[in-house]
Amino acid sequence: MKILKRICHSNVGTGGKREVLSPCWEKSGEKGTEKMSGKDYYIGTAKIYVAVDCIIFGFAEAELHLLLVKRMIEPAKGEWSLMGGFVQEEESADEAARRVLKELTGLDKVYMEQVKAYTAVERDPGARVISIAYYALMNIRDNDTALIQAHHACWVKMKDVPPLIFDHADMVCQARELLKRKAATEPVGFQLLPKMFTLTQLQQLYEAVYGEVLDKRNFRKKVAEMGFVEKTGRVDKKTSKRGAALYRFNARAYQKAPKFSIIANHIAHHS
């Protein structure tokens, strides 16, 4: 019979005070004594993996898009999935999510926010895996196309999203709801636009996020009331013959007066 007993190493410090150092464990048995470090405190407990999954939103052609990958490993090989990976020993979940985003898009300065942890026992048929989901917002034109192709990934319109593996569809739905709430009170939507944009593009973005047609006159009135959406003096001649004025988001101006309201309350809370 093996007995596990605790041994506290101590040392007598200056002034005759006894200093207790880090404990270790001593296992006694027929084959002698084996010491285990603190890293083995939880030996014998069930092994559970921790992963991150990234819901990556983009905006193009007046529609919200989702970045998906064709899964290249089992289980569910060949099916559509969110981009994800396991949390490594020396990184936090946030760091793992940022690593995954950079590996897929080539970008390291991406707006990202945690959605929640998904802990259903049988959510992944491969093993017991807890996944922490994050949603990210980016301008589609900024990502590294070659990296995305190398990962067998592509941008898909939200209305055309195919069936996804495991509980990834639930992750997307919950991330979309969080995006709606956030976009109503903070200027996170600008993360999805190029640095310079037209007011039509801005309106189309919010219509895509909320799935609602917005009144053009009221929308532009709200934009005009915000001092941090400013004209650049340039025009976009690609979308109209006369040329549409280009605007930009002034982050410094917003920080001075961080009040944001671009969507009517009834749309923000009931879309």
Q: Taking the model in full, what pTM does it have? A: 0.82
Domain ranges of the chain: 3-40, 49-181, 193-270
CA distance 12 to 266: 70
pLDDT level of residue 38 (50, 70, 90 thresholds):
low
Listed range (4-13, 43-52, 114-123, 234-243) with the worst mean pLDDT: 4-13
- The DSSP output letter for 238 is S
**In this model, does residue 15 exceed pLDDT 70?**
no
Q: What is the pLDDT of residues 208-229, one digit of tens each?
A: 999 999 999 999 999 998 889 9
Listed range (106-120, 143-157, 172-186, 238-252) with the worst mean pLDDT: 238-252
Which of 178, 180, 220 has the alpha carbon at shortest distance from 203?
Answer: 220
**In this model, does residue 147 exceed pLDDT 80?**
yes
- Third-level CATH fold of 193-270: Arc Repressor Mutant, subunit A (1.10.10)
The answer to whether 89 and 114 are in contact (CB under 8 A) is: no
Which of 149, 169, 167, 150 has the alpha carbon at shortest distance from 158?
Answer: 169
Does the domain formed by 49-181 have CATH 3.30.70.1430? no
The answer to whether 117 and 130 are in contact (CB under 8 A) is: yes
CA contacts within 13 A on the Cβ side of 195: 3
